[in-house]
């Protein structure tokens, strides 16, 4: 699925403030490199239904293993092993015995200390990977089977069996420590790093499984379809502490959602929630909804947080126009797209914005290979758009009681003509401050 940096930023998949990102929300990895692999997963949405279904199955299988997922592999263990291979030490005896091991410890005290510490962590890692393989071997799925078979193959060495049979690591003789160290250094480096790579993948996918279980995400039905569609029941934004869910449909008959509502009523949050859920679905991840069915999308583009460019001398409105132009060029490829637009043409006067918005909407709605959600304050243009059967009109309800704003965040059929800017200005005390100047 095609997606650009602007859209990833608009949806907060990644954010300069990591704590405010979807990535941070999904990150339950236990290792630094596992976190990087998770970032890789989130940066590469999938392009086929089979790939998506396999990832869905992988996460579901790992969810089932959560109660049994117990191993002693830590980020510290991986760091120790990495340092072990990077550090030069005096050559180990090829056939260590009590005598030459004693001499090695005596004359290479620092090297022996590092070796003993590293071998201890190496044994912990080997045993941990064996435990993981035992858990995976009875599970199904391409990824699961690949990991299980690969771990089994990489551990298929006689010295590994001897390591697995080691009961008390702290009581290892000097000769046994040097024997295992020689094996790790000379005969197992490639295998060990391959095993670490498998563990990092598992760390990342297990993180996704934790999120799906913790937040009760559901796995959407995803279909390969010539026409794009989304059917969502009680979908919500995953980053909100107390989210309000919404249900909606977009399809070939009604592929354009014209969204209105007052400031802070929930328009931007809804648009972002839709984008995030579609993106998560295309990763094979669970989504924050009660039920969801959608087509495979070839691309996702947003126009939410535009900015001017002082250095290039480009105005806010100019960049809005360029974004729309680029969007039209991309979605003219006849592939399936989801387009999210929040407050189109904010960078010009109302009359100009109304004319420009109407022209753009009338053009975009003709593209039946794409789904559109567009929010606007320009409810006046809705009357001219009602003649198009493929445009549906939704709004977020706002009520006023005792000069207090009440937001239900409920998505309803129709058009909102709420104008609450002055009331918000007054409620926040700005009007009274100005009057006292």
Q: What is the per-residue pLDDT across 42-73, written as a single tens digit (0 to 9) for each?
A: 999 999 999 999 999 999 999 999 999 888 89
CA distances to 340, 381, 404 from 411, rounded to whole Å, are 17, 20, 20
Q: Are 220 and 293 in contact (CB under 8 A)?
A: yes
CB atoms inside a 10 Å sphere around CB 111: 18
Q: Quick one: pLDDT band at residue 193, thresholds 50, 70, 90?
A: very high
Which pLDDT score is estimated for 60?
A: 97
CB atoms inside a 10 Å sphere around CB 287: 25
The sign of the torsion formed by the CA atoms of 147, 152, 156, 161 equals positive
Q: What is the per-residue pLDDT across 69-111, written as a single tens digit (0 to 9) for each?
A: 888 899 999 999 999 999 999 999 999 999 999 999 999 999 9
Which pLDDT score is estimated for 419?
A: 67
Which pLDDT score is estimated for 311?
A: 39
3-class SS letters over 15-35: CCCHHHCHHHHHCCCCCHHHH
Average pLDDT over residues 302-331: 76
Structure tokens at 150: 């690969």
Q: How far apart are CA 170 and CA 417, in angstroms?
A: 74
Delimiting residues of CATH 3.40.50.300 domain(s) in the chain: 221-435
Predicted TM-score (pTM) of this structure: 0.92
Q: What percent of the chain has pLDDT over 90?
A: 79
Q: How far apart are CA 192 and CA 200, in angstroms?
A: 12
User: Which CATH number applies to 221-435: 3.40.50.700, 3.30.465.10, 3.40.50.300, 3.30.70.2970?
Assistant: 3.40.50.300
Q: Quick one: pLDDT band at residue 20, thresholds 50, 70, 90?
A: very high
Which pLDDT score is estimated for 278?
A: 98
Q: What is the per-residue pLDDT across 331-341, written as a single tens digit (0 to 9) for each?
A: 999 999 999 99
Catalogue the E-assigned strands of 216-296. 221-223, 230-235, 246-250, 256-261, 291-295
Q: Given its phi and psi angles, is residue 417 left (phi above 0), alpha (psi -120 to 50 degrees) or beta?
A: alpha
pLDDT of 404 above 80: no
Q: What is the per-residue pLDDT across 256-299, written as a single tens digit (0 to 9) for each?
A: 999 998 888 899 999 999 999 999 999 999 999 999 999 999 99
Q: How far apart are CA 184 and CA 191, in angstroms?
A: 9
Q: Quick one: pLDDT band at residue 309, thresholds 50, 70, 90?
A: low
Q: What is the per-residue pLDDT across 340-387, written as a single tens digit (0 to 9) for each?
A: 999 888 778 889 989 999 999 999 999 999 999 999 988 999 999 999
Q: What is the per-residue pLDDT across 197-246, written as a single tens digit (0 to 9) for each?
A: 999 999 999 999 999 999 999 999 999 999 999 999 999 999 999 999 99
Q: How far apart are CA 169 and CA 123, in angstroms?
A: 8
Helix-helix angle 142-154:189-214, to 10 degrees: 150
Q: What is the per-residue pLDDT across 160-187, written as a single tens digit (0 to 9) for each?
A: 999 999 988 888 999 999 999 999 999 9
Q: Are 212 and 285 in contact (CB under 8 A)?
A: yes
CA angle, residues 116, 117, 121, in degrees to nearest 5: 115
pLDDT of 315 above 90: no
CB atoms inside a 10 Å sphere around CB 80: 19
Q: How far apart are CA 376 and CA 214, in angstroms?
A: 35
Buried b (16+ CB within 10 A) or exposed e, 146-164: ebbebbeebbeeeebeebe
Q: Which run of H or of E encompasses 289?
A: none
CA angle, residues 3, 8, 13, in degrees to nearest 5: 130
Structure tokens at 19: 């704590």
Residue with tokens 């969204």: 259
pLDDT of 402 above 90: no
Q: Are 317 and 347 in contact (CB under 8 A)?
A: yes
CA dihedral 316, 317, 320, 325 (to 10 degrees): -140
Which pLDDT score is estimated for 313?
A: 41
Q: Which long-range contacts (CB under 8 A, 24 or more apart) does 306-309 make?
A: 306/346, 306/347, 308/347
Q: Are 73 and 199 in contact (CB under 8 A)?
A: yes
pLDDT of 122 above 80: yes
Question: Which of these, 154, 151, 153, lies nearest to 134 by C-alpha position?
Answer: 151
The sign of the torsion formed by the CA atoms of 214, 219, 220, 223 equals positive
């Amino acid at each position: 699925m095609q997606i650009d940096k602007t859209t990833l930023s608009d949806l907060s998949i990644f954010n300069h403030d990591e704590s405010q990102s979807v990535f941070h929300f999904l990150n339950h990895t236990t290792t630094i490199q596992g976190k990087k692999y998770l970032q890789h997963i989130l940066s590469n949405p999938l392009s086929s239904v089979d790939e998506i279904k396999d990832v869905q199955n992988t996460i579901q299988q790992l969810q089932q293993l959560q109660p049994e997922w117990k191993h002693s592999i830590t980020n510290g263990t991986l760091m120790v092993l990495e340092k072990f291979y990077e550090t030069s030490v005096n050559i180990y005896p090829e056939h260590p015995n009590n005598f030459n091991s004693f001499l090695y410890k005596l004359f290479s005290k620092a090297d022996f200390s590092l070796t003993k510490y590293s071998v201890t962590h190496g044994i912990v890692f080997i045993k941990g990977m064996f435990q993981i393989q035992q858990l995976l071997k009875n599970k199904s799925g391409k990824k699961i089977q690949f990991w299980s078979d690969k771990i089994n193959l990489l551990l298929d060495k006689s010295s590994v069996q001897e390591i697995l049979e080691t009961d008390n690591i702290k009581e290892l003789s000097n000769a046994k420590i040097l024997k295992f160290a020689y094996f790790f250094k000379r005969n197992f480096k490639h295998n060990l790093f391959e095993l670490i790579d498998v563990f990092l993948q598992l760390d990342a996918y297990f993180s996704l499984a934790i999120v799906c279980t913790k937040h009760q995400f559901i796995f959407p039905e995803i279909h390969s379809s010539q026409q794009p569609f989304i059917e969502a029941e009680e979908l919500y934004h995953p980053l909100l502490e107390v989210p309000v869910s919404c249900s909606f449909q977009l399809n070939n008959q009604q592929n354009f959602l014209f969204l209105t509502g007052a400031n802070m009523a929930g328009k931007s949050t809804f648009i972002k929630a839709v984008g995030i859920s579609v993106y998560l679905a295309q990763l094979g991840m669970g989504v924050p909804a009660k039920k969801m069915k959608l087509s495979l999308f070839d691309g996702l583009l947003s126009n939410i947080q535009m900015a001017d460019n002082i250095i290039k001398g480009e105005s806010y409105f100019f960049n809005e126009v360029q974004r729309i132009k680029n969007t039209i060029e991309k979605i003219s490829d006849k592939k399936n797209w989801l387009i999210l637009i929040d407050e189109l043409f904010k960078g010009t006067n109302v009359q100009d914005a109304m004319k420009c918005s109407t022209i753009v909407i009338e053009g975009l709605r003709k593209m039946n290979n794409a789904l559109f959600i567009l929010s606007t304050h320009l409810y006046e243009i809705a009357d001219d758009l009602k003649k198009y059967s493929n445009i549906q009109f939704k709004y977020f309800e706002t009520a006023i009681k005792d000069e207090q704003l009440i937001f239900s965040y409920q998505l309803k059929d129709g058009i909102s003509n709420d104008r609450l800017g002055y009331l918000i200005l007054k409620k926040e005390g700005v009007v009274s401050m100005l009057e006292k100047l």
